[in-house]
Structure 1
Amino acid sequence: MATAEAAKGEGRVTVFTMFGPVFGYASVFADGRQTAYIGPVTPGVHWRKLWLMADRCCRPTDGEEQKARWIISQATRALTCGSGVVVKLPSTEWQMEAGGWRVDLPSEWSHQDALVTGPLDVLLLTPEQAAVKPTLYPHYAA
């Protein structure tokens, strides 16, 4: 994993809950590559929580590429199936702070060439939308 640079954009953002915390998912096409930006929008939830969830839900032998694919799959599931969706914003500004992790995938996964995880700020979210949601599986996010 490489340390990610800060990023910002404007476009579609899917906000979804997974095991309680709420995450945002944006995707950007630049330089011929599609990059998924996924991070927590719930105050106080660290972006590494995504990787902790992937550790708990993937096989013990899976490496960072497979865990990155799992994270992308969860965001794609929310976008396409509506699973856990809090809100779909068709056009909004978002920004991700520097210091997260970037994983470049060896082949495309769910139309993504790379995953960037880090603290995500979605400007139009209300505190109620960003708040932790009830879950039957809190142990995956603990």
Structure 2
Amino acid sequence: MATAEAAKDRGRVTVFSMFGPVFTYASRLVDGRQLAYVGPLTPGVSWRKLWQIADRCCRERDTEAEKARWIVTQANRSFICGSDVVVKLPDADWEMEAGGRQVDIGTWSYQNVLVTGNFAVPVLTEEQIAPKPTAYPHYAD
């Protein structure tokens, strides 16, 4: 595991809910590698929540890279299938704070690296980033 650096870009952003909190998914090519950026938008929710959810949804024996692939799969599922999507933005500014986690995942869902951290997407409203109802709140506790 490496500590993630701050990142800022403009591009496609998928905003989705997972077990209550709202997260965002963006990607970009950096030095020939495709990076998937996934992080929370809901106020008061830290990027560590993603890893806590992955711990609960994956097997105990799964490695950090396998849990990272699970996170990428959930983000990609929302993008492709529209599952739990709050909004898709074809071209929006986004920003991720430094200090999150970066994990090499080989090649998975057309991504090579998962970067998790606290996110900001300035065009989103308070309603869009507020927690959403879920049938499985215990996964996010």
**Size of the alignment, in residue pairs?**
141
| Alpha-carbon distance in 1 for matches of 2:91, 2:42 | 20
Q: In the alignment, what sits opposite 2:119?
A: 120
| Alpha-carbon distance in 2 for matches of 1:49, 1:63 | 17
Which whole-Å deviations, capped at 9, do the CAs of 1:35-80 have from their partners, x for residues lacking one? 0000000000011000000000000000100000000000000000
| Alpha-carbon distance in 2 for matches of 1:46, 1:132 | 13
Q: In the alignment, what sits opposite 1:109?
A: 108
Large movers: runs of 4+ above 3 Å: none
| Alpha-carbon distance in 2 for matches of 1:18, 1:30 | 27
Q: Percent identity at matched positions?
A: 67
Q: In the alignment, what sits opposite 1:8?
A: 8
Deviation at 1:104, TM superposition (A): 1.2
Q: Which runs of 5+ in 1 are unaligned?
A: none
| Alpha-carbon distance in 1 for matches of 2:24, 2:30 | 19
TM-score (norm 2): 0.99
What is the DSSP-based 3-state SS (H/G/I as helix, E as strand, rest coil) of the residue aligned with 1:35? strand
- What pairs up with 1:1-142 in 2 under 5 angstroms? 1-105=1-105, 107-142=106-141
Q: Which runs of 5+ in 2 are unaligned?
A: none
